Amino acid sequence: MLQQMTLAEKLGQLTMISLGGPPTGPVADPATLADVAAGHVGSVLNLVGRDRIATAQTLARSTRLGIPLVFSLDVVHGYRTIFPVPIGEAAAFDPALWQETAQAAAAEARREGIHLTFAPMLDIARDPRWGRIVEGPGEDPWLAARFARAKVDGFQGADLAAAGTLAATAKHFVAYGAAIAGRDYASAAVSAGSLAEVYLPPFRAAVEAGVAAIMPAFSDIDGIPMTAHAALIAGRLRHDWGFDGVVISDWDAIGQLVAHGVAADLAEAAALALNAGVDIDMVSGAYRRGLPEALDRGLVEPEAIDAAVLRVLALKERLGLFEAEAGPAAAAGPPASTDAAGRRALARHAAERGTVLLHDRSGLLPVGSPRKIAVIGPFGRDRGGGADRIGPWAGLGEPDRAPSLPTALRARFPEAEILSKAGVDGRRPGRRGIAGAVAAARAADLVLLCLGEPADWSGEAASRAEPGLPGDQAALAEAIFALGRPTVLILTGGRPLIAPTVIDRAGAALMAWFGGSEIAAGLARILAGDAAAGGRLPVSWPRSPGQLPVFFGERPSGRPYDPDNPFTSHYLDLPNAPQFPFGHGGTPGAFALSGLSVTPEAVGPTGTLSVAVIVANAAARADEAVIFVFIQALKALPNRPVLELRAVERVALAPGETQRLTIPLSAAALDRLDDGAGPEPGRYAVRVGLDAERSRHLVAEVMLGAG
Ligand code: BGC
């Protein structure tokens, strides 16, 4: 094939154009179906609808070489049926669920003609000012690696040519989440050590799982934009890790190398990206317009172009596009609909499992049989507001078919009267509606106070310097709390929302994230006690933007905080600890851990430890405990974080049940997560707890021998 291709046809294979959807950036090189017909396009994003896709594919197949197009879309947390946003799904700490929802999304999208998704997003995020924290699995690299495997397996299945699969794209390679001060598109502030131990491991896991594509981040590391980062793309990714899939630039990112100040023109930009190992140019036109000149100027070798083309053709081969006339895309049957009962049920299950009970200070859950429920706040409106339930990057999700909380409550509490009043706007100040909301709440015997941030205040280009409750929501909350009615706060959002007083003052508080198509039904069941709020926080929940970044995996200080010694690491005006630690959630006081033993006490590098712990459910209802196993290397140079997550187990317990749980932990798990030479011999602490708060951990020590 390669020998028959002209340069323009080769560059066409390296060109991805957008044929629909709202652009997420400038469109420097607008392209049309005429470019497809001319054989100058290899892949398309944002074109949806079976017929439109089929038309474009027919055009591509009628070109001189007839090479089919790859159709791609951000299928991030669902296609039609929308599951919780990734941070909310991560809260379920359930790899089987992560895989299943990806599978369901792939099944819906592929039958509509989509071949490739720009997911999973694997950016570790420790600063909720960064809006894209919503798109990833949170703050921890071990968890993110687990998430990466589950998502890649779920999207891709065993065979990308099979129906119901999508080629996955691990993004954004790498350290995009380390954007300075949480400002999207800013330079990443990252050390070599945390690059290796925090930001890269999830991508290595995706590569090991066979991910088809990787997307470099918009950001730079030490002045080298990731789109031009030869050491990390050609070096780490391809050479060291053996990645043989395609690297797809982010939106216009090759053209933006000029704005980054590393290229003088499009030819230089294209050469930098190609030589770094970027195969596909998403919408900038730099490859088709800049590479011919780059060749003339000797900035690139023809072989580099050929190698990229071969990788693109290999992806098309892997997707089975050369085989069938119209590919598996043209599956028969009705278009995907959110109503498919199985997917609805899965979406509800995922919503319940991702929702986090932040506290239940007043013991309000389950709520019993209230006669009058007032749903107060801009995120509990009876009509509209569906976009804030399905959240950002919701594919072809249908906001109007994500029932509202009042609707779901009417179905679950048919005897109760349900009132709903927004009170204030979810983004802008204005207090005129507060009096009406207070009147409604006064008449109720249960108040559900639905506050948060709107979907478009979360995601790309949605950084917030003060990621709390926008507008006058706090004033509404104060007015409602002043009534002294039993009040459950239900938060909607894509990040931990910094609103410590409002959260504390509620009788109980739930974080529902943007929980997807079925979040309202899930919440109704949680309130009724049919289901537990199964989530645990995949991120530390800060008290103040002044603490950011706040995360559990800090390195040790030479002066760790000691309340009796002022010259230790602390703030004068705030505690160091977040409002809620990573892992926090679940029915307060339900579970107790005891009797930790880790055996054998000494282990060689190829051995396995057995971590045994007794878990008791003291509550009056069946529930699942989530148990976290951390390690701490007690001496290492460079030193290692004070806590490193290495295992998470969910255990279902009947009321009053006690179980002895045994978790195998290979000695290799004592290693750093980088590409290093294996764990250093020495003493390690194994710390087991229900969250990352160290003072509550059970601790055992083991000795790792040299082998
Ligand atoms: C985002 C990517 C996304 C792409 C295509 C960009 O703006 O950064 O994550 O996949 O747009 O929609």
pLDDT tens digits for range 91-134: 999 999 999 999 999 999 999 999 999 999 999 999 999 999 99
The mean pLDDT of 189-209, rounded to a whole number, is 97
185: Cβ below 6 Å to ligand 1?
no
Distance CA 100, CA 98 (A): 6
Neighbouring-strand partners of residue 591: 617
Confidence tier at 46 by pLDDT (50, 70, 90):
very high
Determine the pLDDT at residue 333.
Answer: 59
Determine the pLDDT at residue 338.
Answer: 59
Q: What is the mean pLDDT of the chain?
A: 96
| Beta strand segments in 166-251, E | 169-173, 213-216, 220-221, 224-225, 246-247
Say whether 2 sits in a helix, a strand or coil. helix
Active site residues: 250
Q: If you measure from the C-alpha of residue 401 to the centroid of ligand 1, how many angstroms do you get, rounded to a whole number?
A: 25
Q: If you measure from the C-alpha of residue 250 to the centroid of ligand 1, how many angstroms do you get, rounded to a whole number?
A: 6
The pick from 44, 219, 250 for probing ligand 1's pocket by mutation, whose C-beta has the most ligand atoms within 8 angstroms, reads 250
514: Cβ below 6 Å to ligand 1?
no
Residue-wise pLDDT for 180-192, tens only, equals 999 999 999 899 9
Residue-wise pLDDT for 689-707, tens only, equals 999 999 999 999 999 998 7
Residue-wise pLDDT for 502-536, tens only, equals 999 999 999 999 999 999 999 999 999 999 999 99
Confidence tier at 1 by pLDDT (50, 70, 90):
confident
Distance CA 331, CA 43 (A): 20
Distance CA 201, CA 146 (A): 10
The mean pLDDT of 64-78, rounded to a whole number, is 98
251: Cβ below 6 Å to ligand 1?
yes
**For the CA atoms of 324, 328, 332, 333, what is the dihedral angle to 10 degrees?**
180
In the chain, what is the greatest distance between 2 CA atoms, to the nearest angstrom? 78
Q: Ligand 1: which residue has its CA nearest to atom 12? A: 74
Residue-wise pLDDT for 19-35, tens only, equals 987 667 777 777 889 99
Q: If you measure from the C-alpha of residue 227 to the centroid of ligand 1, how many angstroms do you get, rounded to a whole number?
A: 14
Are 223 and 200 within 8 A, CB to CB? Answer: no
pTM score, whole prediction = 0.97
Determine the pLDDT at residue 328.
Answer: 43
